[in-house]
Homo-oligomer: A and B are copies of this chain.
């Protein structure tokens, strides 16, 4: 705990119970000004005095929104190896627009001619089969809105000191989109699955030859060979012309630029399931094949980088929750660092393994506060606090960090990332 937090905590503890600060249905918010003060509508804006711009074949965001971008963290020595973060703090609703879906590449974004790209299904099958885009277009398609989250998302949470980054740039290796494509089980069954097959080695057509082992069971469940993302063809950085989508399972398994599915009776023990995407646990054992992204939540507003500046009053707490095990059933909010909790409203439709936005009005009167959100999914799993997560997983983890995130609100309205007040 740093000095600022210690000081603030003292003031904090003097406050009355803050649970009652969550506003009820009726409240009033500041408006800009009354119309008399504006000379409105006599002062027509310039935009009404001139013809506007022409139509466009393919639209782009406003030039005033050029700051709403993916933030790139790539290896300077190998610029195609790294990540780009979705700016969750700038977004609303639940869909991540295609231009802002997070990226994780191991050797850059391959250029692939879709007319030449072929997916091979082979190994322990009755007959190996190959498919190009054209043949896949003849198959039944399904659509599914779900999140994809990198196993390494939020891993700055393992650091001793809380990172002071905007919420998207610390937790934005997760995005949510409507994926459309062919149910994998149709293609696998057409190839004929031999009885001993238990695993599938998936390989991408990129310069890292990324391959990874996936239990066959998942591919026969809800896996999609996705060709479309939010209505249009998948973009290059998201796997054009085709990728695996495994709802609720960690990002790396959702293999992009998919070129091969080889059925086997055991995992390949490839780089990304041995030296990476595994973890040493406190008892000395290694955790491997941790496929599922467990329940998580984040308050996206207010959050670090914003301020609650000049006018205390009602603020809307808003954020995102998701679980790889199913639907989110509950999100609770605390303004006192976890002593008391109030249920947030979940915005519908609440979908399986997809972003759910939650919201709760909050009256802020200039007092010190620690805002937190805690999600629960339909299996009953409750998002852990950081202390519990570290107790179970140790201090030196790297993957699957899903602890409660705490935003400190100072009396001045500044927002800092803290680890709670009892760390």
Contacts and interface: CB of A to CB of B under 8 A. Distances in A.
A2 to B, nearest CB: 30
Given A30-B135, A118-B40, A132-B32, A237 B56 contact: yes
Nearest to A237: B59
Contact of A316 (B41, B48, B62, B138): B138
A235 B74 contact: no
Interface in A39-85: 40-41, 45, 47-62, 64-65, 68-72, 74, 78-80, 82-84
Contacts of A279: none
A45 to B, nearest CB: 6
A129 interface: yes
A207 B48 contact: yes
Contacts of A30: 135, 138
B50 A207 contact: yes
A53 B236 contact: yes
A270 interface: no
B52 A80 contact: yes
A34 B130 contact: yes
Nearest to A128: B35
Contacts of A181: 92
Interface string A173-200: 0000011110000000010000000000
Contacts of A135: 29-32
* Max chain B Cβ within 10 angstroms of own Cβ: one of A32, A59, A257, A260: A59
A305 interface: no
Copies of this chain: 2
Interface string A146-160: 000000000000000
Nearest to A78: B51
A275 to B, nearest CB: 21
A31 to B, nearest CB: 5
A294 interface: no
Interface in A116-157: 116-118, 120, 122, 127-132, 134-135, 138-143
Contacts of A190: 28-29, 31
A236 B70 CA distance: 20
A47 B231 contact: no
Nearest to A360: B140
A382 to B, nearest CB: 25
A205 B45 contact: yes
A217 interface: no
Contacts of A206: 47-48, 52
A105 interface: yes
Interface in A339-396: 347, 349, 351, 357, 359, 361
Given A30-B135, A38-B120, A51-B78, 15 more contacts: A30-B138, A31-B135, A32-B131, A33-B130, A35-B128, A41-B259, A47-B111, A53-B236, A54-B80, A54-B109, A55-B70, A56-B103, A91-B231, A93-B180, A95-B231
Q: What 3 A-B pairs have minimum CB-CB distances, sorted nearest first?
A: A52-B108, A47-B110, A57-B69
22 contacts: A31-B135, A40-B260, A48-B206, A48-B207, A51-B80, A51-B207, A54-B80, A55-B237, A59-B70, A59-B98, A59-B99, A62-B233, A62-B235, A68-B233, A90-B232, A92-B180, A93-B143, A93-B180, A93-B228, A96-B231, A142-B347, A143-B347
